[in-house]
Structure 1
Amino acid sequence: MTQLSTFHSGIALRLFSAFLMTAMSAVVHAAADSASLAQLVFFRSAVALLPIVLYMLWQSDFPRALTTKHPGLHVTRSLFGVFSMAMSFLSLTYLSVSNAQALAYLTPVLVLPLAAILLGERLTRITFVAIGLGFGGALLLMWDALSVPTELGYIGVAAGLAYAGTMAFVRVHTKTMTKTESATTIAFYFAVVAAFVGLVCLPFNWQPLDLATLSWLILAGLIGGVGHIVSNEAVARAPVSTLAPFDYTGLIWALGFDVILFEVWPGALGLWGICAITSAALIVAFSGAPRRTPKKEKSRLNS
């Protein structure tokens, strides 16, 4: 596979993962009325092990993919990932899917400086324009939710901001790990750690589950497991800063889920937000892959 085709496959995988993760968020939002936060984390992670292991078998990587020379990196990445997941689910509990996603998509803005500093990725003007458009679209989408805040709404907003901050670190940390670790290895150990944390917390945060809620929880795990693999594969194929604007396309799916599943309709600002987000994705799609800053040039710029 050539560098260009690898780059484009990374974008395609990111678009697909945006849909999957948004679908998972809609399912979590549906289950959050009856399930506790610990149950959401446990089922999302434990059930996700099934598609992850099946993917390993399909790739003929099981059990070889379970071998790692960097267990400490997996522990760090997984613990930050568990916290990010919990904050995301807490945000989805108190906000609509589209508003929770809007807050979550502040992550690409925070990823940019980290990608430049830690990964040496060169940020072009066109990338900043695309990120600015996407960020503006996200603000438009969540403006209505923040204009008439409630106490529970504040909790949702705070959790969404906490998710965005920690997820920015997780994205960059995952990119550094893909140099030596496969996407399935990263996804597997994250699911194991997250399921363990959720299991430990279950006795303190248990709620009786009916069949419908249990079905939502299992579905969230299956979709989340596939989405996690796809997301990691995308990061392995293209620069983090290039993939960042494509995360915003998940907001379009989020609005659709709000309308179809929860009968929450966007206003005029939401429609403008969709236009801005779509424009951001299209700009990056036709601008090509950014190059890394050469070591000599990077040293000169830092001097």
Structure 2
Amino acid sequence: MTRVDRPTLGTALRILSGVLFTGMIVCVKAVSEAAPLGQIVFFRSVFALIPLLIFLMLRREFPTGLRTKRPLGHLVRSAFGAAAMFTSFATVALLPLAEATLLAQLSPVLTAIIAVLVLSERLTKWRVLGLALGLAGVIVLVWPDLGGGAVDQARLIGIGLGLLTALLTAFALIMVRRLTRTESPGAIAFYFVVASMARGLLTLPWGWALPDARTLMLLVLAGLFGGFAHIAMTVSFSYAEASRLAPFEYVALLWPIIADLLIFRLPLSTSFLFALPLVLAGAAVAALESKQRARNAA
């Protein structure tokens, strides 16, 4: 049997993680009308914990790998991450998957800008260009709803929540960057999942739905897909350099597009097709600038 080289395996795992994340958001969208948002977050977190615990035990990182010197850092990171999960799932409920995923691509651009404010990193022309391209893409995406005629308020709310998701994700990534100096990836993922589960459970007094068999299955699958997707993405970075895997961040956008067309029968809007290259160009500029900065630091 031919042995697969490490970079190829890393690339395959990164692609797999994109497919699994799409499976998760397909399940979330499918149950968005049958289950409250907090209940979806809870189930996604609880069942993501199962593959994560198995993974940590296989790596002999449970429970010793969960020791932390920075509980407050985990608390802040988890707060941003859990809030991003709530807004992300709300975005998925209101927008086509392709548009929700495209808005999430703004997070690398916003991370680069926030790093200037929070980590005192230098503001470069590339970061400004990335932000300008990303914002131009958002304007193109939202312009049909602002240019006269009937306003689709649900769509505008969805786009606003998508932007908020990208911002919250950017703050969470900044915290992850800080935590990785002393904390293991397994510990960061574990405390985030537990915190998200707790925040989902706190919504119980506002009412949860009693799921039927189909809804329950989709809620469970959302958690399992999300958990395995995170593991596949984490392991991919141990087999291939981040710079090699970066282009597959954008390949992952193909799967939500396919899901919209084949599963939900949602056509791609003209504004999405025009916004797509602008937002991706902005994310690419941010990624290239980050790669160059890492080279200079080395």
TM range (shorter): 0.7 to 0.9
How many Å apart are 1:218 and its aligned residue? 0.7
Which residue number in structure 1 is paired with residue 200 of structure 2? Answer: 198
- Kept in 2, the 8 Å contact 1:32–1:93? The answer is yes
How has the CA–CA distance of structure 1 residues 136 and 124 changed in structure 2, closer, same or farther, with 3 Å as cutoff? same
- Kept in 2, the 8 Å contact 1:239–1:290? The answer is no
- Kept in 2, the 8 Å contact 1:56–1:62? The answer is yes
How many Å apart are 1:65 and its aligned residue? 1.4
How has the CA–CA distance of structure 1 residues 128 and 236 changed in structure 2, closer, same or farther, with 3 Å as cutoff? farther
- Report the secondary structure of 1:78's partner residue: helix
AA aligned opposite 1:261: I
How many Å apart are 1:23 and its aligned residue? 2.8
Larger mean Cα displacement after TM superposition, 7-16 or 260-269: 7-16
How has the CA–CA distance of structure 1 residues 6 and 22 changed in structure 2, closer, same or farther, with 3 Å as cutoff? same
Which residue number in structure 2 is paired with residue 153 of structure 1? Answer: 155
How many Å apart are 1:143 and its aligned residue? 5.7
AA aligned opposite 2:204: L
Which residue number in structure 2 is paired with residue 58 of structure 1? Answer: 58
AA aligned opposite 1:66: L
How has the CA–CA distance of structure 1 residues 130 and 10 changed in structure 2, closer, same or farther, with 3 Å as cutoff? farther
Unaligned runs of 5+ in 2: none
How has the CA–CA distance of structure 1 residues 137 and 6 changed in structure 2, closer, same or farther, with 3 Å as cutoff? farther
- Report the secondary structure of 2:253's partner residue: helix
Which residue number in structure 1 is paired with residue 220 of structure 2? Answer: 218
- Give runs of aligned pairs for residues 124-139 of structure 1, distance below 5 A: none
Which residue number in structure 1 is paired with residue 263 of structure 2? Answer: 261
How many Å apart are 1:22 and its aligned residue? 3.0
- Report the secondary structure of 2:34's partner residue: coil
- Report the secondary structure of 1:266's partner residue: coil
Which residue number in structure 2 is paired with residue 75 of structure 1? Answer: 75
Q: Percent identity?
A: 36
- Kept in 1, the 8 Å contact 2:142–2:159? The answer is no
TM-score by structure 1 length?
0.77
- Report the secondary structure of 2:292's partner residue: coil
AA aligned opposite 2:206: F
**Corresponding residue pairs, total:** 291
- Report the secondary structure of 1:61's partner residue: coil
Deviations 1:158-181 (A, max 9, x none): 221211111111011111111211
AA aligned opposite 1:170: A
- Give runs of aligned pairs for residues 232-243 of structure 1, distance below 5 A: none
Distance 2:152 2:36 in 1: 21
How has the CA–CA distance of structure 1 residues 114 and 247 changed in structure 2, closer, same or farther, with 3 Å as cutoff? farther
How many Å apart are 1:105 and its aligned residue? 2.0
Distance 2:69 2:101 in 1: 35
- Kept in 2, the 8 Å contact 1:123–1:241? The answer is no
Distance 2:124 2:289 in 1: 10
Which residue number in structure 1 is paired with residue 107 of structure 2? Answer: 107
AA aligned opposite 1:198: G
Distance 2:236 2:113 in 1: 20
Distance 1:265 1:246 in 2: 24
AA aligned opposite 1:99: E
Which residue number in structure 2 is paired with residue 175 of structure 1? Answer: 177
AA aligned opposite 2:189: A
How many Å apart are 1:47 and its aligned residue? 0.8
Larger mean Cα displacement after TM superposition, 82-91 or 250-259: 250-259
The Cα RMSD (Å) is: 4.1
Distance 2:263 2:22 in 1: 13
How many Å apart are 1:88 and its aligned residue? 0.7
How many Å apart are 1:270 and its aligned residue? 4.2
Larger mean Cα displacement after TM superposition, 217-226 or 112-121: 112-121
TM-score by structure 2 length?
0.78
How many Å apart are 1:272 and its aligned residue? 5.3
Distance 2:132 2:12 in 1: 21
Deviations 1:42-74 (A, max 9, x none): 001111100110110121211111211111111
Distance 1:232 1:74 in 2: 18
Unaligned runs of 5+ in 1: 296-303
Which residue number in structure 2 is paired with residue 36 of structure 1? Answer: 36
How many Å apart are 1:248 and its aligned residue? 3.8
Distance 2:280 2:236 in 1: 19
